[in-house]
Structure 1
Amino acid sequence: MSSYSLPEAAPVPALGRRRLTANLSWALLLSLPLLWLLVFLFVPVLVVLVVSFFQPTLSGFEQSFTLDNYRLLLTSGPFFSTLVNTVLSALITTVVTFLAGFWVAYYLALVVPNLRSRFALFIIALAPFFTSFLIRAVAWIPMMGREGVLNSALLSLGIISAPLDFLLFSNFAVRVAMAQLYLLFMISPIFFSLSTIEPAVLEAASDMGARWWNILWEILLPLARPGIVIGAVFVFVLSMGDFATVRLIGGGASTSVGLSIQNFVTYMQFPQAAAAASILVLVTVLGVVLLLRWGAIGEDL
């Protein structure tokens, strides 16, 4: 009569060691990006926050606690109007890049027939971003100047009788330039979101009698929402902190908090610069939280 025995279970200590090794591996893997964030993000932000409470002096600051820096900025009419203009420019840039970038991403992801052509056109759309940010910003000056290409073309066609001054060194010029500079940050995430949509889904909706507007509103936009939110966060954050474009294209006629911070640093008013930076970070974070809430991302925030 034959007998058999059940296979022996793995010893509990061996399973525990393997689990501990796996946990240590994950902890080591996660520690590198966490260390990077700690050193290059959280520590600098903490330093800026601490300096914002120091007392300013003619040569820098002294380490005595004060709220005068925040009180001075928050009760200052020019700074408040600058903050409002910064937020408004960031919102307008975000909306404009979405309205323009969504259709570019839609064409690349769903209209172009094959994958190779999609990525070839995507690289072509990426080509302007192979050059420096400042070069692309400066390129708007001969384009939109009083004697620039756009004014010359409009005068030659007889559309206007005098050059348009608002095309350069104005809030309008800054927002147009920022929309072009940050457009790719909106196109890229929307493109990758729309690329996950099967064309058969759109064909089925059309066969069932859905109009183009219904397909856009009920299928495309909901499925592309994660990419839209990510692109909006990128564009909003970058626009809020931009000062180079404001200085170059604004020409003194446009202001931003980033430009104010640079001016504070130039005159060695480091506590006021730190306080302005802290306010800018706070407003930016609030804007990002609202965007994530709208996009149903991070429900536990």
Structure 2
Amino acid sequence: MSSTAAPPPSANASPAPGRSLSAWWQATPLTVVFALFFLIPLALILMVSFWDFNEYELLPGFTFKNYISVFDGCSNMADMCTTLRTYLSTFKFCLLVWLITLVIGFAVSYFLAFHVRSSGVQTLLFVLCTIPFWTSNVIRMISWVPLLGRNGLVNQTLMEMHLVDAPVEWLLFSDFSVTLAFVHLYTMFMIVPIFNSMMRIDRSLLEAANDSGASGWQTLWNVIVPLSRTGIIIGSIFVITIVMGDFVTIGVMGGQQIASIGKIIQVQTSYLQFPLAAANAVILLAIVLMIIYGLTRLVDIRKEL
């Protein structure tokens, strides 16, 4: 009596209709939330950016006047327009903060991942890094004012040590104070993904590099840095996107004297110039998306995660 075994299911066989429908139902809640709180607001901002306005009301329609106003005066190459100067100022802070947070975040993550052997101590030190997040951003920013002001603790200490004869003016309400506040607020966004990537590195690879005669710097550059690339990219995306749109930190720590794209949008909104603010927001979003696209081309984040 012969029996015929059932053929194995084909790898290309389509899923059963019931399973496919179940998957769609599972994705529906997230899709609805994503559409309500992300896609629809973005569509409204894009739509309003083409409206006209006056001192009293918004005028629904379709006009490029807002986008033309954003780049008003930029045709003169001899004198940089306000918009380009503002974007350059924003890019400057973005680059400085990214570099500093990357160095600090990588150093802290490396220490926690490879020099702290006890998992309990690792957890304790990692929690200590999150302590600043237990208070609001505004409180953390304001805490720098009594330290960096003309009569602050830093200036008093410098004068008592006879290192300076007069208070140092550039410590507060300057590019330095804005960069310092940014680094203080957002370094944790760089530490977390880099630390997560480093903890996933197989320690046998480090032992193999050591057995092959590689120095500490060679192991760091040729093994640890490439394997931490996903965390570096994710942390960079976090820091860059936050700094590009931030206006509270620049307003408080810059003494309302330093311009940024986020600050311009906030001012235009306060004067009820919503279409103009929406046009600036669309341009800023396009630039941020291009930066993110460029970063994600360096590594396949979905595959690595």
Amino acid at match of 2:199: S
4+ runs of 1 displaced by more than 6 Å? 7-10
Aligned residues: 292
Residues 7-44 of structure 1 deviation map (CA, whole Å, 9 limit, x = unaligned)? 7789xxxx99x822211121122222222221111111
Corresponding residue of 1:177: 181
Q: Does 1:103 align with 2:107?
A: yes
Most deviating of 170-179 and 158-167:
158-167
Shift of 1:153: 2.0
Residues 243-297 of structure 1 deviation map (CA, whole Å, 9 limit, x = unaligned)? 1101111112211111111111111111111111111111111111122223454
Shift of 1:126: 0.7
Shift of 1:199: 2.8
Q: Which has the higher contact order (CA 8 A, sep 6+)?
A: 1
SS in structure 1 opposite 2:16?
helix
Amino acid at match of 2:236: A
Residues 46-84 of structure 1 deviation map (CA, whole Å, 9 limit, x = unaligned)? 111111111121113201221111111112522221122
Counterpart Cα distance in 2 of 1:176 and 1:296 = 32
Q: How does 1:60-209 map to 2 (within 5 A)?
A: 60-76=57-73, 77-209=81-213
Counterpart Cα distance in 1 of 2:98 and 2:34 = 26
Change (3 A) 1:215 1:7: closer
Counterpart Cα distance in 2 of 1:241 and 1:235 = 10
Corresponding residue of 1:45: 42
Most deviating of 69-78 and 280-289:
69-78
SS in structure 2 opposite 1:294?
coil
TM-score, structure 2 length as denominator?
Answer: 0.90
Amino acid at match of 1:70: Y
Counterpart Cα distance in 1 of 2:295 and 2:148 = 32
Q: Between Structure 1 and Structure 2, which shows a larger proportion of helix residues? A: 1
Contact 2:52 2:60 in 1 (8 A): yes
Most deviating of 117-126 and 196-205:
196-205
Most deviating of 262-271 and 26-35:
26-35
Corresponding residue of 2:51: 54
Shift of 1:173: 1.1
SS in structure 2 opposite 1:236?
helix
Which residue, 22, 30, 34 being the options, matches 1:33?
Answer: 30
Counterpart Cα distance in 2 of 1:144 and 1:57 = 42
Corresponding residue of 1:278: 282
Counterpart Cα distance in 1 of 2:156 and 2:186 = 27
Shift of 1:5: 4.2
Contact 2:251 2:257 in 1 (8 A): no
RMSD: 2.1
Amino acid at match of 1:200: S
Q: Name stretches of at least 5 consecutive residues in structure 2 with no aligned partner.
A: 74-80
Contact 2:197 2:228 in 1 (8 A): yes
Shift of 1:6: 4.5
Counterpart Cα distance in 2 of 1:160 and 1:232 = 37
Contact 1:60 1:269 in 2 (8 A): no
Q: Name stretches of at least 5 consecutive residues in structure 1 with no aligned partner.
A: none
Counterpart Cα distance in 2 of 1:162 and 1:243 = 31
Corresponding residue of 1:258: 262
TM-score, structure 1 length as denominator?
Answer: 0.91
Counterpart Cα distance in 2 of 1:114 and 1:211 = 25
Q: Report the identity percentage.
A: 35
